Structure 1
């Protein structure tokens, strides 16, 4: 989602960029407000985002209503178990979600939807997990800021420099210069947030590697959209498409950072 996906006239591009910027600021403000508040407010936002993302994923993989409804019920139950008053220190919610997703995948024709269930659910629970850690506000903020910096850096570097295509068969307008710009932005901004928030030493240099992970998530969604023959995963967010279009890079980064912390690496 970082690089421009369409070709347009200069006035059209300027209008689209302005609309994207306004909606992006609003979305960032909502996310930051929920992150700051934490608790039930963050849980509600994470649950809504996960459910909408799953619905959009189901549309991209061609899930029928029955299969998608089954996945939604499983995700809703898992997120209900992840409510702050039920959130155990053993983080068993993720294990239960993944087991349920695996069993769901064994049903005929359910595997593509089950992957989306596990993907969106694990990332959302991962965000809740990070927020509850010591200094969790800054750690969760650092994680999201890296994704946002990657997105912005890749967008502007890709447009300004252009050059060789990153994955032309999947997303024709993404470039290597965009990837490098995103990595540079994530390294700089992530390092500043890590230093200011007094986060563990590893967070000072993990921005650039995580930018690659964010771009991989972006390419995964681009591949799904290309297979489905659609430009966006949805139309909920003006200038941004669907919810999945907005969080495609954040999903794998949240999963990876939460896993790293769960293993005591930080």
Structure 2
């Protein structure tokens, strides 16, 4: 199982890096939309939708994404900044206000409509962040995603080796506080290396700690939805990992919020000019 997990991770990393640095912007956006569309399909399954409604749900998500990508070409010049602003804002409010309450009280939400809306709030801003952050700098996107991956791997191995105190036993029994500590330590080392080599302020490490906390929250939320749906994995596309959602759960909560703190003042000015 571990060998399969590692091999899948290496294959994904190689393909991701090639796409990140080589693909034109349009093809990158469409490739990421394809992955997010698969995640929408998996979310629909965990939400209790039957196959016909899952097809409708996934198709609507994909169609909306294509419209956003092609907005400038079809004359919808104000669509992209508006969608970006409201989607990232909705995701930020969800992860900072709603998700912590959902996790603490372990709400058993099984209404497909509510979960379908939640899926859009969780997944669509993730795709927008993948596209927008890469537009700023592929290296910035890689740095943020690497933080999540390092935290996830460190939490997994340190939890396996040292884990005794459960983090959220009724949500994800395998996660431990020792795993969280291992994630923080690994991210701290990663942050020190980045700051030293790029001559950046060491306050960036505080931000990386925040990304780590957010990624754990995203992981826990997906675990809660899976547990309440009675499934172990969101899908079976990725050997050793499960589904696409199982691989990107930590990104759904971290990427949109990083974009919020980078771009929110700019979003406001853009919208102000659009509505002036």
Tell me by how many angstroms 1:264 deviates. Answer: 4.8
Tell me by how many angstroms 1:214 deviates. Answer: 0.4
Q: Is the 8 A contact 1:78 1:97 kept in 2?
A: no
User: TM-score w.r.t. structure 2 length?
Assistant: 0.78
Q: 1:33-182 maps to which residues of 2 (within 5 A)?
A: 33-38=18-23, 39-83=25-69, 86=72, 91-95=81-85, 109-133=112-136, 136-182=137-183
- 1:205 match: secondary structure: helix
Q: 1:217-232 maps to which residues of 2 (within 5 A)?
A: 217-232=218-233
Q: In 2, distance between residues paired with 1:93 and 1:116?
A: 16
Of Structure 1 and Structure 2, which has the larger fraction of its residues in helix? Answer: 2
Q: Which runs of 5+ in 2 are unaligned?
A: 90-110, 267-276
Tell me by how many angstroms 1:68 deviates. Answer: 2.8
- Which deviates more from structure 2 when the two are superposed, residues 197-206 or residues 185-194? 197-206
Q: What is the RMSD computed on CA atoms of the aligned residues?
A: 2.8
CA shift in 2, pair 1:224/1:61, >3 Å: same
Q: Is the 8 A contact 2:44 2:57 kept in 1?
A: no
* Deviation digits for residues 60-115 of structure 1 (CA, Å, limit 9, x no counterpart): 1102344433332332233213437849796223357689xxxxxxxx95221121
Tell me by how many angstroms 1:195 deviates. Answer: 5.1
Q: Is the 8 A contact 1:139 1:199 kept in 2?
A: no
Q: In 1, distance between residues paired with 2:188 and 2:72?
A: 36
Q: In 2, distance between residues paired with 1:71 and 1:200?
A: 44
User: TM-score w.r.t. structure 1 length?
Assistant: 0.81
Q: 1:247-262 maps to which residues of 2 (within 5 A)?
A: 247-262=248-263
Tell me by how many angstroms 1:138 deviates. Answer: 1.5
Length, aligned pairs only: 242
CA shift in 2, pair 1:209/1:176, >3 Å: same
Q: Is the 8 A contact 2:46 2:226 kept in 1?
A: yes
Tell me by how many angstroms 1:187 deviates. Answer: 2.6
